[in-house]
Structure 1
Amino acid sequence: MRGRRALVAFTLPTVLVLTAACGGSNAQQANDPTTSPGSTSTSPGSTSRTSATPDPGSSATPVADPQHAVDPPGPRKGALGLADVLVYNGDSLSPSTVAAIRGLKGVQSVETLSLAQVPIENKVITVAAVDPSTYRNFTPAASAETQAVWDRVAGGELAIRPELKKKLPLDSHGYLRLGSEKDATAVHIGAFAPQVEGAIDAVVNESWIPTLHMQRDNALLVTTGQTAPESLRKPIEKLAGHDASVQMLDAVARYGLDPDVQQTAFVVGTIADAVGTFRYSVLGGGRIAPDPAWVAAHITTQSVPILGNVTCNKLIFPQLTAALNEVQSRGLADKIHPSEYAGCYYPRFIAGTTSLSNHSFGLALDLNVPGNQRGTVGEMDRTVVSIFKKWGFAWGGDWHYTDPMHFEMNALVNPR
């Protein structure tokens, strides 16, 4: 038994199913699929409630969002098998490619899904749009066997990894905006449940694909059973094509990513045109090396008011220049200190993680660093903040864990 399977065999992660946004049933919690009733849990914006053990055979779907509800998944069917390989591409994988990978000797099962990266408060999380009736078989047993999780997903809600519960900005009603843009879509969180380890942070059902502007069927999970996944890397790479990323998920579980493969991020939302498909290699010390072709197409150095020469994403310059011009014209230039500017384009992970920062895309800048450290109110002049917001920037001082030095583009604004 390989390491990932041995670990899952002895540890069953917590699954927390929350109250539906439409005011459905009580919150339900399962430390494993057989947790007894009587424990308590708290959903965002609610008081503590008595939990009930989900009925594994239940077919009742709490419909939180009728526009994004799909058929109830019903009881789980088929064999459980943790995903060993993730194939990911910016474009859709063709049915013939999927069939060819499924037919490889050593492949036990495959599951197509739609995968995208969503920036939230300078963290990038991976969201998958899935068929809840079949994708569940690739998740840890505690998730796969908890019927209420997949009823919630089918009913239009989001299921997300429990580790992210305290790290994301939920509103008082349990909604999470999927994106940093002003108009980012808000989805109600229906469950905190483990997903495919190292590959997926959150899942919605497939009806969300057009709403979230995701690329349909651009990813594939592969289970190899008793076959060593690494032995299938080259055959899968040959079938998937040179643009696809083929990641060994046992390496992801150990290191946070597969260091032997080019990484791919497909960012969705209003600012997607500023990022496109982002491919990069991993360097030491939390740094990354974006594809040189991507850098040439998206990154440039220009002179802007107050700060002088800065290197950023090409699309940020019109509104960054407009914001700084207004700061200057209103007599506030001395509120921004060029000597305390800490950069815009800085290809790296967020410190201590393997999550991309918006600095990696050249869409964020850090100002007046010494007096505006994370977790503080900061010293940033609030009129300067309001000017930046006017010109399409979000301010880190508004976040649930503040970062008052940080401004990031959250809307495309065309100065007139």
Structure 2
Amino acid sequence: MRVGRALGTAMLPCLLVLTACSGSSKADDPAPPSTSATAAAETGDGQTAAPALDPAHAVEPPGERTGAIAYSDIIVNGSKTLDAATIAKVQRLKGVQDVEAISLAEVPIENQALTVAAVDPATYRNFTMLNSALKDVVWDRVAGGELAIRPALEKKLPIDEDDFLRLGSTDDAPAVHIGALAPLSPQIDAVVNDTWIPTLNMVPDNALLIRTGSTSPITLRTPIEKILSGTKASVQMTDVVAREGLDPDVVQTAVVVGTVADAVGTFRYTVLSGGHIAPDPAWEAAHITTQTVPILGSVTCNKAIFPQLIAALNDVQAQGLADTIHPGEYAGCYYPRFIAGTTSLSNHAFGLALDINAIENQRGTAGRIDRGVVTIFKRWGFTWGGDWRYTDPMHFEMNTLVNPQ
């Protein structure tokens, strides 16, 4: 058994694509010269290795892969760093085969929380699908400072024409070049190396991937929970049975990073049916409230949103645009749920997004929201869903804490 730590990501001149079924790879169109330092070099197995474009986030390439390849059976996720002594106790449990320490965070992007892991590419690769684990170029690119994401997310994220993705909801959020589309381990959407931990304000080593081999993972839940007693870390099964859906018997933990992290804190919840979740009652009591705001009337949202929401709506009134917002078409703010058809948290689950004029502003349309209203909301720290790749013009979400004073 061994314990691995997370390293970092780098930027490379072209995008590597892996599919879960074919095991093939291809390099797409090269990025413009401004993002490409030198030509890529051919490795001995015909794969392409490219130089790091972001030296500040580059680490040594992982080299030759060693060790067994298999998904984790258990994932531990908490809001604080798991110290070496705690990890060692988990590692020594009878039935535990491998333990990998990683850093895990939820990054809000266009009304979804992207689960990002900072990993050691040399060791984390063994916890992914065989097709990914065997491709040296994927992990060379992660080591070089680039981002690897699940292929299914390519069309769902606001990736620019040069294959950069901002990890956050503001214009100045860190931009990372996507170097590979590759199947990752369960419940992880994207990986970088651990040089990105301070850049993304992640908590170092707050999560563990655990493999149990021939031992049933469910038999290890209680022993692991005893070791983690007092940490409030969740212990989630990720074996083939659990991968059909999140475990409803486990309190899930989401550590939100970015500009609205202070408004959310550590978010704990359990999974309900129909895509709904039940937030920790203590979190809900501390963060969610109902207030009366201009134009819309009574709304239930995160406490942090109200000062700038009220300021924005006051400005809408002052500009003579109040009649362009229809209170009868207000579709809610705090709505504890996943994004439809996924297990990604919506910003509505945090009470930091609201939908207005819903009838005339459906997803995938340009919408009929008055653009003067849009401008006002943006000035008060909101992102508008109408700007997204797959538009959601009824949707406004807080991306920055703004003091109305």
TM-score under structure 2 length normalisation: 0.90
Determine what percentage of the aligned residue pairs are the same residue. Answer: 65
- Contact between 1:280 and 1:288, CA under 8 Å: does it hold in 2? yes
Query: Is the 1:181–1:271 contact (alpha carbons within 8 Å) kept by the matching residues of 2?
Result: no
Match of 1:124 in 2: 113
Tell me the residue number matched to 1:248.
237
**Matched letter for residue 296 of structure 1:** A
Q: Secondary structure at the match of 1:356?
A: coil
Q: Are 1:115 and 2:104 an aligned pair?
A: yes
Write out per-residue CA displacement over residues 10-69 of structure 1, whole angstroms, 9 at most, x where no aligned residue: xxxxxxxxxx8554xx65555589967xx85535868xxxx9986459895520211100
**Is the 2:42–2:48 contact (alpha carbons within 8 Å) kept by the matching residues of 1?**
no
Q: Does 1:239 align with 2:224?
A: no
Coordinate RMSD, CA, aligned: 2.3
Q: Does 1:301 align with 2:290?
A: yes
The verdict on how the C-alpha distance between 1:351 and 1:340 changes in structure 2, with shifts beyond 3 A counting, is same
Written as runs of structure 1 = structure 2, the 5 A alignment for 1:241-390 is 241-242=229-230, 243-250=232-239, 251-255=241-245, 257-390=246-379
Aligned residue-pair number: 387
Amino acid across the alignment from 1:253? R
Matching of residue 221 in structure 1 with residue 209 in structure 2 = yes
Aligned pairs (5 A) from 1:143-182: 143-182=132-171
CA deviations over 1:45-101 (Å, ceiling 9, x no partner): 68xxxx998645989552021110011111112222321100110111111110000
Shift of the alpha carbon at 1:203?
A: 0.3
* Pairs within 5 Å for 1:18-57: 21=11, 23=13, 28=16, 42-43=28-29, 55=44
Of 120, 123, 129, 1:140 maps to 129
**Partner Cα separation in structure 2 for residue 137 and residue 221 of structure 1:** 11
Quote how far apart the aligned CAs of 1:181 are. 2.6
What are the equivalent positions in structure 2 for 1:7-86 lying under 5 Å apart?
Answer: 21=11, 23=13, 28=16, 42-43=28-29, 55=44, 62-86=51-75
Judge which range, 279-288 or 397-406, deviates more. Answer: 279-288
Q: Give SS of 1:310's match.
A: strand
Contact 1:319 1:413 in 2 (8 A): yes
Give the whole-Å Cα distance in 2 for the aligned partners of 1:159 and 1:410: 24
Over 3 Å counting, the alpha-carbon distance change for 1:345 and 1:45 in structure 2 is farther
Structure 1 residue 244: Cα displacement? 1.0
- After TM superposition, give the deviation of residue 171 of structure 1 in Å: 0.7
Q: Is the 8 A contact 2:149 2:182 kept in 1?
A: yes
Amino acid at match of 2:197: I
Give per-residue Cα distances to partners, 1:333-357, cap 9 Å, x unaligned: 0000011101111111111222111
SS at match of 1:230: helix
User: 1:78, 1:58 → 2: CA distance?
Assistant: 21
Asked if 1:87 is matched to 2:76, the reply is yes
Distance 1:280 1:44 in 2: 42
Identify which of 188, 193, 200 aligns with 1:212. Answer: 200
Name stretches of at least 5 consecutive residues in structure 2 with no aligned partner. Answer: 1-9, 33-39
Q: Is the 8 A contact 1:56 1:147 kept in 2?
A: no
Q: Is the 8 A contact 2:12 2:177 kept in 1?
A: no
Is the contact made by 1:59 and 1:74 (CA closer than 8 Å) also made in structure 2?
no
Partner of 1:6: none
Q: How far apart, in 2, do the equivalents of 1:407 and 1:27 lie? A: 32
1:370 counterpart SS class: coil
1:410 is aligned to 399
Residue pair 1:93, 1:217 contacting (<8 A) in 2 also: yes
Distance 1:55 1:35, change over 3 A: farther
Match of 1:191 among 167, 171, 180: 180
Hey, what's the Cα distance between the residues in 2 that align with 1:155 and 1:412?
33
* Alpha-carbon distance in 2 for matches of 1:69, 1:222: 26
Secondary structure of 2:273's counterpart equals coil
Residue 301 (structure 1) shift: 1.0
Q: Is the 8 A contact 2:95 2:215 kept in 1?
A: yes
Superposed displacement of residue 308, structure 1: 1.2
Q: Residue type of the partner of 1:147?
A: D
- Provide the C-alpha distance between the structure 1 equivalents of 2:46 and 2:249, rounded to a whole number of angstroms: 42
Do 1:345 and 1:359's aligned partners in 2 also have CA atoms closer than 8 Å?
A: yes
> How far 1:132 sits from its partner (Å)?
0.8
Q: Which has the higher mean CA deviation after the structures are superposed, 73-82 or 313-322?
A: 73-82
Letter aligned with residue 81 of structure 1 = A
Q: SS in structure 2 opposite 1:369?
A: coil
The alpha-carbon deviation at position 182 of structure 1 amounts to: 3.3
Distance 1:394 1:130 in 2: 30
CA distance in 2, matches of 1:262, 1:22: 38
CA distance in 2, matches of 1:32, 1:370: 39
Equivalent-residue separation in structure 1 for 2:19 and 2:397 (angstroms) = 38
Partner of 2:3: none
Report the 3-state secondary structure (helix = DSSP H, G, I; strand = E; otherwise coil) of the residue aligned with 1:386. helix
Q: CA deviation at 1:172?
A: 1.1
Provide the residue aligned with 2:7 in structure 1.
none
Unaligned stretches of 5+ residues in structure 1: 1-19
Task: Quote the offset at 1:180 in angstroms.
Answer: 1.3
Quote the Cα distance in structure 2 between the aligned partners of 1:271 and 1:366: 18
Structure 2 residue identity aligned to 1:398: D
Partners of 2:323 and 2:168 in 1: how far apart? Answer: 32
Instruction: Verify the 8 A CA contact 1:30 1:53 in the aligned structure 2.
Output: no
Alpha-carbon shift at residue 124 of structure 1 (Å): 1.1
CA contact (8 A) 2:11 2:147 kept: no
Cα 1:40–1:103 shift into 2, 3 Å: closer
Q: Secondary structure at the match of 1:371?
A: coil
